[in-house]
Amino acid sequence: MKFCFNIEPLLIMMQSILFILVTGLAFFFAFKSVKQIIKNIKLGKDEDLSDQPNIRLKTMLKVAFGQSKMTTRPVAALFHFIIYVGFILINIEVLEIIIDGITGSHRIFMPLLGGFYGFLIGFFEILGFLVILACFVFLYRRNIQKIKRFAGVEMNGWPLKDANYILLIEIVLMSALLIMNAADSDFQNKYSMPISSWLAPMFYGLSETTSHTIVNIAWWFHWIGILLFINYIPFSKHLHIFMAFPNTYYSKLDAVGKINNMESVTTEVKLMLDPSFTPPENYVSPEGFGVKDVTDLSWKNLMEAYSCTECGRCTSVCPANITGKLLSPRKVMMDTRDRLVELGNEKLKNGDDFHDGKSLHDKISSEELWACTTCNACVDICPINIRPVDIIMQMRQYLTMEQSAAPSELNGMMTNLENNSAPWQFSPTDRANWTQ
């Protein structure tokens, strides 16, 4: 009796198992990183931003989904929009990859969608090609044209590399997609593709097995690339592609520039001066005033630090920075995130109650903090509604109230306020002297 054994179903099954294992592992690690980010954000103080959900939703749709604040720089806006749309729509193709990977099928949507499938993939190809083009334009702007807002002390080293890595990864991922389509002779015979048809002649004359192997390699390369990308994002400024949405939803809705009274100070002063004053229920005296470390900031401040795209728009309009002062609002956000990651990692190693004794002031100097004019130009221009000045003001409050380290010009003014009820050095009784 002749024993006949077809090995192909076994290979397909093994490939599916490998796909599930690799994908599961990659998602497990990505989930772990996301969990750590959420845990770090929760190190911040409570802040209630749950009011006016309709306005919040509209803000998110307009600013994050609609990219409304990007239009102030049209060239960057156009190319960013291409990459953004490419990122969202190409996920439909990723869905097919996942189903194919699990079931062992090949282009499962092709028989289901018929002619529309060709249209869809053709559209993705044009998008993929434009994404490659946009990435090259961004690489050029950063590395050859050296646009000023991409420079700065905070952008040396890793941040510059990070921006370049992401652009290169996107170019490689999109190229793998186009090569996969070009080498797929069955697919090419059925549809006329706008981009991969140009590349297809490179694979003419190859045996069926060789072209299948190339398609398979490109397919795996594309998918592994996506999995690596997913695991890289939590450590990159590209986290903003996800964070921009919750960050804009929880935008502060009060007027830009409004500085809230420090409730804790008001209550403490009343407690000292007014014997009849009763503090709010469950009131606990604050351990300190203002912000010493990231744990004194609110969760929203910390979420903003993780959301920052490092675009530098804020720094490019900051009057302090423009006039040569040390302050860069982008650096404030990046330092806050770096400090948060540092402390979060220490807590992970040594337990939740651990504190390494360092502070955010180790990264952001008082010279930077006091250079801020509180003009809010940075807040106004930020494409995802981040408020660096919020952090600056709270850190100043710490310097003033806990360290008595306000600049001498301010100390004089504050003494006058205390003694004369006005910023000037005159006694209140002399106020009307000018009429003489």
Q: Does 71 bind ligand SF4 (CB under 6 A)?
A: no
The one among 127, 173, 177, 389 contacting ligand SF4 by CB under 6 A: 389
| C-alpha–C-alpha distance, residues 326 and 367, integer Å | 7
| C-alpha–C-alpha distance, residues 35 and 217, integer Å | 32
The one among 101, 128, 234, 312 contacting ligand SF4 by CB under 6 A: 312
The one among 174, 377, 391, 399 contacting ligand SF4 by CB under 6 A: 377
314: part of which helix (H) or strand (E)?
A: helix 313-317
Q: Does 391 bind ligand SF4 (CB under 6 A)?
A: no
| C-alpha–C-alpha distance, residues 346 and 171, integer Å | 35
Nearest to 363 by CA among 308, 311, 305: 305
Shortest separation between residue 413's beta carbon and ligand SF4, angstroms: 19
The one among 76, 169, 176, 320 contacting ligand SF4 by CB under 6 A: 320
Q: Does 237 bind ligand SF4 (CB under 6 A)?
A: no
Shortest separation between residue 57's beta carbon and ligand SF4, angstroms: 21
341: part of which helix (H) or strand (E)?
A: helix 329-350
Q: Does 395 bind ligand SF4 (CB under 6 A)?
A: no
Contacts of 298-301 with C-beta under 8 Å, sequence gap 24+, read 298/44, 298/45, 298/46, 298/47, 299/41, 299/42, 299/43, 299/44, 299/45, 299/46, 299/47, 300/44, 300/47, 300/49, 300/250, 300/252, 301/44, 301/336, 301/390, 301/391, 301/394
Which residue(s) pair with 298 in the sheet?
A: 45
Q: Does 127 bind ligand SF4 (CB under 6 A)?
A: no
* Number of chain residues interacting with ligand SF4 (CB under 6 A): 27
The one among 43, 183, 214, 386 contacting ligand SF4 by CB under 6 A: 386
Residue with tokens 């807040």: 379
Q: Does 384 bind ligand SF4 (CB under 6 A)?
A: yes
Nearer to ligand SF4, 145 or 373 (CB): 373
Q: Does 298 bind ligand SF4 (CB under 6 A)?
A: no
Return the DSSP state at 107: S
Q: Does 419 bind ligand SF4 (CB under 6 A)?
A: no
Binding residues for ligand SF4, per CB under 6 A?
308-314, 318-320, 327, 329-330, 333, 372-378, 382-384, 386, 388-389
